[in-house]
Chains A and B, each alone.
Chain A
């Protein structure tokens, strides 16, 4: 591999933003036909480096080479013409347009007088979709597709040219296991066609499964490249965060207290049915299941975003009706929602104001919001969660994906809730912070909080929960204690298979 010409090479790339040196002389090489992982903590500069490569950002210094020829990427369009396509961390599709229009946006096939050649458009699109093995067709409206299928549309868009290199920026963050399999197949395909693939992810098991080499960034600096087959998780982690991680469960021994939340036969239309469970103070209850199993909908119902069709909710033994998030917050419920951009953050607002929004009415001195009180809260959770930002005035939209997620978590922790519900809490979060957040969840429970963790990552659920509730198609299939649960029984339960004999 080393005797070949690199497909792409970046050299000495520097990129600064006001108050941030996001990239500090980074070099990076991609060979044809390799899958090259780019790793690093949240805010290390991975997305920024790829934006430079993809023509979205102009570097302050440094040079890009295509097959050793110096080149300039003047725009995403220009980069694509040169064979570099970018599949974004954040989806960037037009919801109202069809799949075909999205894929060929800007380069629709034309007939005379500039009329769009719809037949060719749909034929070409369907041909690409076929290679991807997806279950929808060219005329579907993108807004009606699941997140995973939207991701597939992004990928299809990359395949309209014969690419030299394809960049995947955290593509699996919201994919189910089955969808991941399809994605990995696509990557393998690209690889066999000699395309260089750059793959950004925080999930070690994926990295070790599909990549050939791993390059690591830290604080905007290049830290080195390892051959995947010759390294291990500890070494990569050491390179990424400068220390190794103790991944064993922080076994904070604590008593569980009285029941904080009890749900009796709760149903909400077709979304979930006859759901009953309790959460005690000092306890972490994990909800595990496939996407669409109804877990998020239960959380939203508890948080007053949906009206249940039947059943009751009890807080500390008292039956309550929760009609709005404001109600829920007043009663001491916090929800870290699953979609940080859509539901968690106001991207145009600064970090501090985002974090204090749910309690801003209480942080007052006279009729005015107290600057000091707000900054104090922000500082406390910035330190606790290690949020990387030049200051509280920074617009949240300018933070790296993982740091945005930490703002959302900080926002809800700072409410000191009785019941804390977290939905996919570590989506897009780096390994170091992930284990910190897991420890934090255990610690919160030890302090007497009742915690519900919803996650599609089995290791996460196994790691943090005292009890696990397995759901399938809107129903609770089985409840496990941490001692009795096994991976197999959990997989069975969430696939809708009833256990032969109850353990």
Chain B
């Protein structure tokens, strides 16, 4: 009987490890510094995680489909710059849809290269990371973008507004998470994303249009990036060309931390949201402990390595392997 319970616990840990780790971590930090679970701090963390989170939702689709997207950081800079620029030229009502169209055109382009031309997603999106950065600089002429009349526009609502006391970024993150979670878990398209990432050949043999499904995952990802860009632009009402720089790795860290497998075919939106929150709270916790802001880059990297290692270890069934 004792044996059984132990097995049960071990099984629970293996299945819900990420939630358990999250709980343990939160308690440890809360004990170390009670300010950590102060309601303002918690809200603050979620709000500042929202942009990253929105992007992670889209990348979850790409990763479950068996690919990577490293272009989301620089694509987000692009969206932000474009929407700020167009705001003053054609007004927010037209600027927003135009920016979404332009960003999603970039996503479609990646989708064609990776989906239909079957190019390696790492190479394609790494290339797009720098190509889009170049595009953004060309577009802006290297200048920062600012909205001229910050008071006379309703554009600030996405980044600074709130409904019933809940900040808009959090609402948008939550709404998008719910919608995309339903798409992924309840629709035929979602099922096909898992199939293509799980075994692309078998999916093809089952009549799943692999290329189109991969294409669609990049479209979803770019839609999320555009949404993130909108929140970012609206929050700051002005921006540098490099606002999204480096975010692609944090996004990936959150997605992997949530348990989406880099090999494709596994993961959920809910777990990604947990991954985003863990990452946010870890960074916040370290900040509260007095760690320098830039130390977070190292910490993020360590988290990625840990998450990938645990992912592989879970598959291999051992934490160490003897090197051949």
Contacts and interface: CB of A to CB of B under 8 A. Distances in A.
A329 B202 contact: no
B206 A357 contact: yes
Interface string B178-217: 0000100011100110110011011111111100000000
A305 B208 CA distance: 12
A324 B201 contact: no
A367 B199 CA distance: 24
Tell me if B's interface is mostly helix, strand, loop or mixed. helix
A342 B204 CA distance: 11
B222 to A, nearest CB: 22
Interface in B294-324: 322, 324
B198 A358 contact: no
B266 interface: yes
A229 B120 CA distance: 58
Interface string A274-303: 000000000000000000000000000001
Nearest to B318: A75
B79 to A, nearest CB: 27
Interface of B: 11, 182, 186-188, 191-192, 194-195, 198-199, 201-209, 265-266, 322, 324
Contacts of B266: 348
A337 B209 CA distance: 17
25 contacts: A106-B324, A303-B205, A305-B205, A325-B207, A329-B207, A335-B205, A344-B202, A345-B199, A345-B202, A346-B194, A346-B195, A346-B265, A348-B265, A349-B195, A353-B194, A353-B195, A357-B195, A357-B203, A357-B208, A360-B188, A360-B191, A364-B188, A367-B187, A368-B187, A369-B187
Nearest to A359: B207
A335 B202 CA distance: 12
A328 interface: yes
A243 to B, nearest CB: 35
A369 B202 CA distance: 20
Given A105-B324, A411-B206, A342 B201 contact: yes
Contacts of B194: 346, 349, 353
Contacts of A364: 188
B205 A347 contact: no
Contact of A344 (B182, B188, B205, B209): B205
Contacts of B204: 305, 325
A177 to B, nearest CB: 27
A349 B182 CA distance: 18
Contacts of B187: 367-369
B77 to A, nearest CB: 34
Contacts of B201: 342-343
Contact of A346 (B188, B198, B324): B198
A468 B110 CA distance: 49
A325 B205 contact: yes
B322 A337 contact: no
Given A106-B322, A106-B324, A353-B191, A346 B207 contact: no
A337 B11 CA distance: 35
A108 B324 CA distance: 8
Tier of interface size on chain A: 20 to 34
A343 B207 contact: no
A262 B205 CA distance: 22
A263 to B, nearest CB: 20
B205 A328 contact: no
B206 A358 contact: yes
A369 B188 contact: yes
Given A106-B324, A348-B266, A357-B208, A342 B192 contact: no
Contact of B191 (A305, A324, A344, A357): A357
A361 interface: yes
A134 interface: no
Contacts of B11: 18
A326 interface: yes
Most buried by B among A105, A337, A346, A368: A346
Given A305-B205, A337-B205, A346-B203, A361 B198 contact: no
A411 B202 CA distance: 12
Interface string A405-442: 00000010000000000000000000000000000000
A358 B265 contact: no
A435 B99 CA distance: 62
B198 A326 contact: no
Contacts of A324: 207, 209
Given A360-B191, A369-B188, A342 B202 contact: yes
Contact of B199 (A106, A303, A346, A361): A346
A388 to B, nearest CB: 21
B190 to A, nearest CB: 8
Contacts of A346: 194-195, 198-199, 202-203, 265
Given A108-B324, A349-B265, A326 B202 contact: no
A363 B188 CA distance: 8
B186 A369 contact: yes
Contact of A369 (B191, B203, B207): B191
A337 B214 CA distance: 23
A236 B187 CA distance: 48
Nearest to A356: B191
Nearest to B265: A348
A328 B207 contact: yes
Most buried by A among B186, B198, B205, B324: B205
A209 B203 CA distance: 40
Which 5 residue pairs spanning A and B have beta carbons closest together? A346-B198, A326-B207, A329-B207, A361-B188, A357-B206
Most buried by B among A18, A108, A358: A358
Contacts of B202: 342-346
B186 A343 contact: no
Interface string A361-402: 101100111000000000000000000000000000000000
Most buried by B among A325, A328, A347, A411: A325
Contacts of B208: 326, 357-358
Contacts of A347: 198-199
Contacts of B188: 360-361, 363-364, 369
A476 B265 CA distance: 41
A357 B199 CA distance: 12
Nearest to B264: A348
B324 A325 contact: no
A358 B207 contact: yes
A8 to B, nearest CB: 24
A487 to B, nearest CB: 33
Nearest to A353: B191
A417 to B, nearest CB: 12
B144 to A, nearest CB: 42
Given A18-B11, A342-B201, A347-B198, 9 more contacts: A105-B324, A325-B204, A325-B206, A326-B209, A329-B207, A342-B199, A342-B202, A358-B206, A368-B182
Contacts of B203: 346, 357
Nearest to B183: A367
Contact of B205 (A105, A343, A368): A343
A319 B198 CA distance: 35
A381 B198 CA distance: 23
Nearest to B317: A56
Interface string A294-327: 0000000001010000000000000000001110
A245 B206 CA distance: 33
A329 B266 CA distance: 27
B313 to A, nearest CB: 15
